[in-house]
């Protein structure tokens, strides 16, 4: 299975590989406010987007919606553009090519690096402008320090430690996800350090049985992008939300399982008791937020609701919209406490403030408030 750039980058982020912050724009979105400079990248599964005009830099001097419309009108190698990844633009000092794939002949992993990655790598490789190095990896030993030193030297890397961490992370992803390719082209050297500008991750379909949940999540995201699931935006699928019912009086909603579990621990530590827990899986939108709130609030014992959001590709303005809809539709006065950070948090927080819903930067404080309220009520 081939992953979209934004999916690959979510994995990169998890493994500590630096990526630009950003968010997805779907064809149905309109009038999202954007702050320049941004790189607007069409999300397609074929390569060579840059050359096909699928990547645009928006510096703020023109109308962004015009660029976005142009990108949505594109078909790149037969693939229609259905989503755009908007990323903060970084300054690039140098581009490097980096990948791990299988050595066809031996079926063992091989690390490939090139001294000047980017859109023309195939061309420059042919013309010998580009120096490419192949390093065989023993699957039992993994990548060894001397091998990383070797490529770092060939690439003239100054920041060895940071580079080593990236290579190790790429190999870890390759192994743990059963990938057939993990490619960063280009890996940019910027004034602030390395940044993976592009992400190509291909998973081995044969390994699906080992990653059932992951494959399903990725496929769902893909179907959402490709509009195969028309209903998704208005009618969220039951199974994107994980609901757990417990016996206390605090309702909890999170946009990630890890954060959610951590929050449950904190509540416990502060003497609170959780009534139920909703984890909104995959790409979330305001409807999923609304639905989660309704699920949590339907439990009569819930006296306060704690919403914990850490937005990556998940947008806080969308989340706020869902919370406002809930307030309007249900009109129950269960107090809601929110911890919100990440993409578009300023807008999300502003919307919450206007509606008099408390938002906290500190998870600890949000948890304490929710626990206190449940005890009072
Ligand atoms: P591809 O054409 O599908 O491989 O798309 P990439 O994501 O690799 O981007 C193509 C090229 O666009 C890169 O090699 C960069 O030169 C350029 N580019 C992409 N993002 C940025 C950015 O944030 N800053 C700058 N300066 N250039 C970028
Ligand atoms: Mn690329």
Please tell me the predicted confidence (pLDDT) of residue 243. 87
From the CA of 87, give the closest atom in ligand 1: 23
pLDDT at 194: 98
Ligand 1 proximity of 50 Cβ (cutoff 6 Å): yes
**What does CATH list as the number for 94-225?**
3.30.470.20
Q: How far is the CA of 229 from the centre of ligand 1 (A)?
A: 30
Per-residue pLDDT at 233? 38
Predicted pLDDT at 292: 93
Pocket test for ligand 1, best of 198, 200, 201 (most atoms within 8 A of CB): 198
Across the chain, which has 377 residues, the per-10-residue mean pLDDT values are: 95 97 87 88 92 96 94 92 96 96 90 83 69 94 97 96 98 97 97 97 91 90 74 45 90 90 95 94 82 92 95 87 92 89 93 94 95 92
- Is the domain covering 21-88 a CATH 3.30.1490.20 domain? yes
CATH domain 238-376 topology: Rossmann fold (3.40.50)
- The answer to whether 255 and 280 are in contact (CB under 8 A) is yes
**pLDDT tens-digit map of 292-350:** 999 999 999 999 999 999 877 789 999 999 999 999 988 678 999 999 998 899 999 99
pLDDT of residue 128: 67
Q: Give the three-class secondary structure for 68.
A: helix
In whole angstroms, give the CA distance from residue 148 to residue 201: 21
103 beta partners: 108
pLDDT for residue 116: 78
List the structure tokens of 45: 């599964």
Exposure of 280 in the CB half-sphere (CA atoms within 13 A): 28
The reply to whether ligand 1 has any atom less than 6 angstroms from the CB of 186 is yes
Q: Please, what is the end-to-end C-alpha distance for the chain in angstroms?
A: 50
Q: Is the pTM of this model over 0.75?
A: no
For the chain, the structural domain boundaries read 21-88, 94-225, 238-376
What is the dihedral angle through the alpha carbons of 115, 120, 121, 124, rounded to the nearest 10 degrees? -80
Q: Which residues pair with 134 in a beta bridge?
A: 112
The ligand minimizing its distance to the Cα of 77 is 1
List Cβ neighbours of 186 (8 Å cut-off, separation of 6 or more): 92, 95, 96, 97, 117, 118, 197, 198
Distance between CA 252 and CA 275 in Å, rounded?
A: 8
Contacts of 37 (CB under 8 A, 6+ apart): 57, 58, 59, 60, 88, 89
Nearest atom within ligand 1 for CA of residue 47:
3
Ligand 1 closest atom vs CA 5: 7
* CA-based nearest residue to 10, from 256, 249, 228, 334: 256
What is the distance in A from the centroid of ligand 2 to the CA of 49?
A: 8
pLDDT at 313: 73
Phi, psi of 35 (to 5 degrees): -115, 125
Beta bridge partners of 311: 342
């Amino acid at each position: 299975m081939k992953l979209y750039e934004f999916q690959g980058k979510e994995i990169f982020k998890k493994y500590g590989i630096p990526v630009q912050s950003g968010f997805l724009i779907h064809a149905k979105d309109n009038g999202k406010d954007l702050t320049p400079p941004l790189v607007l990248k069409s999300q397609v599964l074929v390569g060579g987007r840059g050359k096909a005009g699928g990547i645009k830099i928006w510096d703020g001097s023109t109308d962004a919606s015009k660029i976005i419309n142009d990108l949505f009108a594109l078909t790149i190698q037969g693939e229609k553009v259905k989503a755009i990844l908007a990323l903060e633009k970084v300054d690039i000092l140098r581009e490097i090519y980096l990948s791990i794939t299988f050595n066809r002949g031996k079926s063992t992993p091989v690390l490939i690096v090139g001294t000047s990655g980017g859109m023309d790598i195939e061309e420059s490789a042919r013309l010998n402008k580009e120096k490419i190095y192949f390093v065989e990896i023993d699957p039992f030993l993994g990548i060894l320090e001397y091998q990383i030193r070797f490529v770092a030297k060939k690439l003239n890397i100054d920041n060895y430690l940071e580079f080593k961490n990236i290579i190790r992370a790429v190999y870890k992803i390759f192994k743990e996800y059963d990938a057939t390719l993990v490619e960063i082209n280009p890996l940019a050297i910027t004034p602030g350090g390395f940044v993976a500008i592009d992400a190509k991750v291909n998973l081995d379909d044969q390994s699906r049985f080992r990653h059932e949940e992951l494959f399903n999540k990725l496929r769902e995201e893909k179907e959402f992008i490709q509009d195969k699931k028309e209903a998704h935006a208005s009618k969220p699928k039951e199974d994107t939300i994980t609901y757990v019912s417990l016996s206390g009086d605090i309702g909890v909603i999170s946009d990630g399982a890890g954060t959610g579990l951590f929050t449950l621990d904190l509540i416990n530590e502060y003497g609170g008791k959780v009534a139920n827990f909703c984890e909104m899986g995959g790409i979330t939108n305001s409807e999923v937020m609304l639905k989660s709130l309704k699920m949590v609030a339907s439990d009569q014992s819930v006296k306060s609701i704690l919403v914990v959001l850490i937005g990556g590709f998940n947008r806080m303005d969308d989340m706020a919209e869902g919370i406002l809809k809930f307030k309007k539709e249900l009109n129950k006065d269960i107090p809601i406490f929110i911890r919100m950070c990440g993409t578009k948090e300023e807008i999300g927080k502003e919307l919450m403030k206007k509606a008099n819903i408390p938002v906290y930067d500190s998870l600890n404080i949000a948890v304490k408030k929710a626990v206190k309220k449940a005890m009072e009520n």
